[in-house]
Chains A and B, each alone.
Chain A
């Protein structure tokens, strides 16, 4: 069997293990669970990277693909997205000791990789001429990095809703004291989005420059482009509402979650609408 697939299945198992541990950690205050979760996650990331290495190696066997990243297919894109979410979480957690948020973030990464491994086809094919550009190493990578950050912000938002609900109910469970505070979650949510929003828009602009180069137009209202713009509009609305109108807490989270719904639709749903950007079409 292909070593790439073996490695990615180990990574998938590790991610799911870490996810399950993160849920147990929510219920039981046992610091060992947190440590194991992080170790498992780190292990998953290492195997995932190794698998990605093998994928690049076999991708480059086709000479036209040489020195482009294999993220042109649904499999490659989902796999990269899961990796980015996990790495972002790993970095944020180790800096802020927020392992408790694992249960709110890791399921999305595990799900993403799970869909990649179980449903998407890992087949490697040659890039169509339109994708044979150095932009493929930049434009989707930048965008998916911002998606990964938004995924983390979504998890933080979920945690805020849980925390807010608990405190409003006047019957907080022990979890309430272990989750970060409402204000911290609110500002973390905001800061992740404020950091990811410029990345998202830069990614969109890069897409425009590439499109100008490949198709002769900067902007063509292709569904993928349009939905990326909608996503940016929603997050811009969030930033304005928070900064200019003082919208915070629960309602701000709802807006940011709507933004994440747009991210998911841009990433998955648009494949059923778009001809140019579809992972499912020939591109």
Chain B
């Protein structure tokens, strides 16, 4: 237990968490980029096995990393509950028992404790002891200080005056907040879910974690002029439980649909090789084709079929392929036949009207002469990537975050001040004040405030300073 309470252990623990978190950023993580993990596996099969054993490719979900986080949360609680911070502002003038005979001894200890305060002031007054005690405490109260821990004996009296005592709780609140955030994360890990549901425009898909179906009636994407950079994409989404419609909204990035805490995000979009129509430019006349529906080319013996669409055409191992699901380089394969006899398929590109690739029966490609027709346009059927997430821990995270901000504001931006005041009778109606002070900021800023407050106190008590 002592180990867990030591601040050194906590710092080492924090350093370990930082170190492993950093390590994780240098390996592809399977929840984020599974393709890269696969690539790594194929490039370094042995290295992959070893690293995978330690969970390097899903580091943040490994039991040991979770364990470190849990230990940290546990430690924060232990540390904050049992450890008193070395807070000068919290120390009283010692000691605090009330044995009358010991009063003299206690006072001398108080005086020594006072000597050690960073800011000090002492003065003599002609007020009587009782009066001095009352006037001094009322002075601090008038200046917005709370007076407490009063100690009174005929041989001397002492009290504490503090302001902005809340500052002290900042640290506690901030640490509790961290634990709440971690609890929120735990709740999410236990009860939350995330799923990715690609839905073709006009289709419906059943959810995995809820007995609901998603349908995208209309998917819209706009591009910045002359680029394939989307400026906006949105889905008209309907969510049904059985036959009952439970939610409906046109969702955009940053504007999800929320149904009882289950949120539907517009995450991605793409073309999967389906299209409604393509249009061929036959040198002035246009021919519109539906997918896989053969059509006669007017005035020729040919019939043509638009077969498949590659949204981001690339050649891999000599074969046609797509590099991504983005519409970066759309290409369509056309099958021709003359009197029922097929000729080799041709690939046409909507961005490059003069390029034409011929596909041989084994699938390899070669350049062909520019044909007398070109691909005028494609109307692809897009899918909308809907991410559905349920995070019951989120309100906890938000609560923790708010507490964290509150705690830090108290801790770092509030200026706590504390005065230790010791009053001793000096015979013949004379009373001596010794005052020590501490502030959470310290330094010159407080020095000025301290000096001016002591000046005011002197004039308030109407007394002369006497050399120490």
- The residues of A with any CB-CB pair to B shorter than 8 Å are 62, 64, 125-130, 132-133, 187, 194-195, 197-198, 201-202, 205, 208-209, 212-223, 226-227, 229-230, 233-234, 236-237, 240-241, 243-246, 270, 273, 275, 282
Contacts and interface: CB of A to CB of B under 8 A. Distances in A.
Contacts of A221: 21, 24, 29, 31-32, 59-60
Contacts of A194: 412
Contacts of B224: 62, 64, 125-126
B15 A237 contact: yes
B323 interface: no
B253 A237 contact: no
B185 interface: yes
Contact of A216 (B86, B231, B389): B389
B33 interface: yes
Contact of B194 (A132, A217, A226, A245): A217
Contacts of B266: 129
A223 B188 CA distance: 21
Contacts of A201: 404-405, 408
Contacts of A240: 7, 10-11
B229 A241 contact: no
A240 to B, nearest CB: 6
Residue in B17, B227, B263, B408 with the greatest tally of chain A CB atoms within 10 Å = B408
14 contacts: A129-B230, A129-B252, A130-B254, A202-B405, A209-B398, A212-B394, A214-B265, A215-B265, A217-B194, A217-B389, A226-B24, A233-B18, A240-B11, A270-B25
Contacts of A219: 185
B397 A218 contact: yes
Given A197-B408, A221-B24, A223-B25, A237 B60 contact: no
A221 to B, nearest CB: 4
Contact of A245 (B7, B26, B33): B7
B3 interface: no
Given A129-B231, A214-B253, A237-B14, 17 more contacts: A127-B231, A128-B229, A128-B230, A187-B443, A197-B408, A201-B408, A208-B401, A214-B265, A215-B267, A216-B267, A218-B391, A221-B32, A223-B25, A226-B22, A233-B21, A240-B10, A244-B85
B273 interface: no
Given A129-B252, A201-B404, A226-B21, A216 B7 contact: no
Contact of A218 (B25, B32, B394, B409): B394
A220 B266 CA distance: 17
B347 to A, nearest CB: 27
Contact of B254 (A62, A195, A198, A213): A213
B11 A275 contact: no
Contacts of B25: 223, 226-227, 270, 273
B302 interface: no
A234 to B, nearest CB: 6
Interface string B360-389: 000000000000000000000000000111
Given A205-B401, A216-B265, A246-B86, A234 B11 contact: no
B233 interface: yes
At the interface, is chain A mostly helix, strand, loop or mixed?
Answer: helix
B233 A233 contact: no
Nearest to A132: B254
B39 to A, nearest CB: 14
A282 to B, nearest CB: 7
Contacts of B294: none
Contacts, number: 128
Given A129-B232, A215-B265, A273-B25, A233 B394 contact: no
Residue in A217, A241, A270 with the greatest tally of chain B CB atoms within 10 Å = A217
B143 interface: no
Contact of A236 (B14, B24, B32, B387): B14
B256 interface: yes
Contacts of A217: 194, 389, 391
A64 B408 contact: no
Contacts of B14: 233, 236-237
B256 A195 contact: no
Contact of A282 (B26, B229, B401, B404): B229
B8 interface: yes
Contacts of B267: 215-216
B18 to A, nearest CB: 4
A77 to B, nearest CB: 19
A213 B442 CA distance: 42
B21 A230 contact: yes
A275 B32 contact: yes
Contacts of B227: 125
A212 B391 contact: yes
Contacts of A226: 21-22, 24-25
B257 to A, nearest CB: 11
A226 B401 CA distance: 17
Contact of A237 (B11, B387, B388): B11
Residue in B25, B60, B86, B404 with the greatest tally of chain A CB atoms within 10 Å = B25
Given A217-B389, A223-B25, A126 B412 contact: no
A127 B254 CA distance: 13
Interface string B398-440: 1001001100110011000000000000000000000000000
A244 B335 CA distance: 76
Contacts of A213: 254, 256
Residue in B8, B14, B18, B194 with the greatest tally of chain A CB atoms within 10 Å = B18
A134 to B, nearest CB: 9
Contacts of A214: 253-254, 265
Residue in B32, B85, B188, B388 with the greatest tally of chain A CB atoms within 10 Å = B32
A68 B116 CA distance: 55
Contacts of A220: 31-32
A78 B360 CA distance: 52
B86 A244 contact: yes
Contacts of B21: 221, 226, 229-230, 233
Contacts of B412: 194-195, 197-198
Contacts of B194: 216-217
Nearest to B29: A221
Nearest to A62: B224
Contacts of A215: 265, 267, 387
